[in-house]
Chains A and B, each alone.
Chain A
Amino acid sequence: MTTGHLDATRLAEHAEGLLGASEAAAAQAHLQECAACRATAARLESVTAMLATAPPTLPTPAHVVAKLDRALADENAGTPLRAPVIQLSWFRRKAPQLLAAAATVGVLGFAGWAITTGSDGGDDAEEATTAESGGGEDAPEEAADAGIAADSDLQSADEEAAAEPLQADDGELAAPAAALADQIRAVAEQGPGAERDAADDTCGLALADELGAELVGTAATDVTGEAAVLVVVRSDDDPAVVHGWVMPACDATVDEALNELRVELD
C-alpha cells in the first residue's frame, strides 16, 4: 500500500513544478487514483492557506518595545558626547581662563557638544558632507563656523561658541546631556568625600588642580557610551554651579577630557 504513495515533500515539490517531466507525469497518474495522496496534497494547500491568512500583526512584547524606544532615544540624541574633538581643540587651551569665568565655560562646553550633535543626526551628516564636498575656499570657513578652530581662529571660535548657548539652553537638553546632568547633580548632592575609599582619593584631583577648582566628587559613568569617569568640580565664582567633566581615567588631565557640562544646582 505504501510503495506507490508520494510523501509530503514529493507532493509539495510536484505542486511547485519542481519534478522532472516523467516524475511529474508519474506523480500525476498516482494522484488520480489515490485518494490518500490527494488528501495529503489538499492538506498541503491548507498549509499555504493558513500561512496566507495568519494575522498580519503580532503584539510586540513589552521588552522589545522598550528596546526599540531606547535605540530611538539614542538615535535622536545623535552620537552624544562622542566626538568631542571640535570643542576640545578649542577649550583645552582656554580652560583655565574660562573656568575663572564660570558662568560661561560649562555652557561653552555644552555648546561644543551641541554643535557636534545637533538635534537631528541627519542634518549633521548633511552639513558635514557640505563642508567636505564644498572644497575650495568654503570648507575651511565652514569648519571655523562650526567651532572647529585652528590655532589662528581662536577668536572667531570664541564668538561662535558664545552665541550658541542661548540656543542650547532654550531647548530641553537632549537625552544624554540630561542624563549626564542628572549624574552630575547626584555627585554634587552626595557631597565631598562621600563613599570614596582611600584608593580612590586621588581620583579627579589632577583635573581639579589643573583647573584650579574645588573637587566635588567623582563617579563612574557610561553616559557617553563607554566607561568613563565623571569628575565634578566647582569654581569659586558661583557655589550653585558645578561642572561635570567626562574623563577617560581618574588621573586624566584637561587635554584628555571627553566632555564637559555645566550644571546649576537647585
Chain B
Amino acid sequence: MTADPRGDRTADDDVLMRRHVGGDPDAFGELVRRHRDRLWAVALRTLGDPDDAADALQDGFINAYRRAKSYRGDAAVTTWLHRIVVNACIDRVRKAAARPSDPLPESNDRSMTFAGTGPDPADFVATRLDVEAALATLPSEQRAALVLVDMEGVPVAEVAEMLGCAVGTVKSRCARARAKLLPLLVPQQREGNRAAAPDVPSTSRPSRSTPPGGDPR
C-alpha cells in the first residue's frame, strides 16, 4: 500500500468512470477507495471538524456518483473529484457563515476535542502532525481560504469565486490566517536557543510560493 492514490492498479480512473457510467456497481467504489484519503485530507483541513468533513466527503462522492455522466474527461478524474468535494466543503463553510447562531468559539471547542490538544499554543509542537490541529483553530472562512490557496494550490481568483467574495478578501483572510498559525506552526525560538540558531532571515526555507506581489524588492 502506497500513499499514492494512483499506485499500481489494473484499471485507470477513466476506465473506472466509464465502467461506472456503464452500470458496473463496483467501479465507483474503487474510485472512492483510490481517492478518499486525498479527499479526506482536503475536507478535514478545509472544515476543521471531522464530522463536518465526513458529511462533506459523503456529499461530494454521492454528487460525483450521480453526476458521473456529465464527466467529459476535460480534467483528470482526480481533479474532477477534488473539485466536487471542495465544493461540498465550501457549501458547508458558506452555510455556517450564514448561520449567526453558530459562533466560532464552538467550532474551536470541537476542533480541540478532535485534535487532542489544549488551546494553549505551547501545547503545539511545530511538526507536520499538527497542521490539522492548528488549522482547526482558525475561523472557518479563514481556514477555507488558506487551505485552498496554500495547501491545495487553487489560484486566488478561483478561491474568491468559490467563496463568493473579492480577491482582496481571500488574500486578507489568508494573511490573517497565516499570522494566527505562526505561533502554532513556527513557534519563536526560545531565548536560550536563539543565539545558537542560524540567522533566521538567511535561512528562508524553500517555499512553493514566491514572495507575493507586495514584496517591494
Contact = CB atoms under 8 A, between A and B. Distances in A.
A68 B23 contact: no
B38 to A, nearest CB: 5
A107 B3 CA distance: 47
Contacts of A25: 216
Interface stretch (A35-43, A96-104, A200-208): A35-43
A56 B131 contact: no
A39 B200 contact: yes
B212 interface: yes
A8 B168 contact: no
A132 interface: no
A59 interface: yes
Contact of B175 (A15, A71, A120): A15
B165 interface: no
Contact of B151 (A15, A38, A52, A67): A52
Nearest to B130: A50
Contacts of B57: 60, 64, 68
A1 interface: no
A198 interface: no
Nearest to B5: A57
B62 interface: yes
Contacts of B37: 57-60
B79 interface: no
A61 interface: yes
Q: Chain A at the B interface: mostly helix, strand, loop or mixed?
A: helix
Contacts of B128: 50, 53-55
A56 B38 contact: yes
A8 B214 CA distance: 15
B201 interface: yes
B68 A122 contact: yes
A42 B29 contact: no
A58 B47 CA distance: 14
Nearest to A126: B69
B146 A40 contact: no
Interface stretch (B87-95, B102-110, B177-185): B177-185
Interface string B111-130: 00000000000000010100
A135 interface: no
A121 interface: yes
Contacts of B176: 9, 12-13
A124 to B, nearest CB: 11
B40 A49 contact: no
B130 to A, nearest CB: 9
A40 B40 CA distance: 32
B203 A42 contact: yes
Q: Chain A CB within 10 Å — which of B29, B66, B201 has the most? A: B201
A122 B213 contact: no
A48 B178 contact: yes
A18 B214 contact: yes
B101 interface: no
B25 interface: yes
Nearest to B59: A71
Interface in B131-186: 131-132, 146-147, 150-151, 153, 168, 171-172, 174-176, 178-179, 181-182, 185-186
B200 A44 contact: no
B23 A52 contact: no
A45 interface: yes
Contacts of B186: 43-44, 46-47, 50
B191 interface: no
Given A24-B216, A39-B201, A71-B62, A56 B41 contact: yes
Contacts of B126: 50
Given A75-B66, A120-B23, 19 more contacts: A15-B211, A15-B215, A16-B214, A17-B213, A17-B214, A41-B201, A42-B200, A48-B208, A52-B151, A61-B40, A64-B50, A64-B57, A67-B58, A68-B32, A71-B58, A72-B62, A75-B65, A122-B21, A122-B23
19 contacts: A15-B175, A15-B214, A17-B171, A17-B214, A24-B214, A28-B216, A40-B182, A43-B182, A47-B181, A48-B207, A49-B205, A56-B38, A57-B38, A67-B58, A68-B58, A71-B58, A72-B62, A119-B25, A121-B66
